[in-house]
Amino acid sequence: MRFDEIAPIKPLSPEQARLKSMKDRVKRDQEAVKTERARQQITKAQQNLSAIQRQK
């Protein structure tokens, strides 16, 4: 590896840091919504399966 490939990362300005923080929060929230929807679908499917098994 050459030295220019491992150049140090400059710290972000306060504005850039705030924007990056907002973007990261949006991504994290989107993942949380996706996970919660999947959890709810699994719960509903389990309830339906239990109901079907009780009918037999």
pTM value surpassing 0.85: no
Question: What is the reported pLDDT for 54?
Answer: 92
Count the residues in the chain: 56
- The DSSP letter of residue 1 is -
Number of Cβ within 10 Å of residue 35's Cβ equals 10
SS3 content of the chain, % helix, strand, coil (to 5): 80, 0, 20
Residues 20 and 12: beta-carbon distance below 8 Å? yes
Note the pLDDT tens digit of each residue in 2-56.
666 676 788 999 999 999 999 999 999 999 999 999 999 999 999 999 999 999 7
Residue 10: predicted pLDDT: 87
> Between vectors from CA 5 to CA 4 and to CA 10, what angle results, nearest 5°?
80
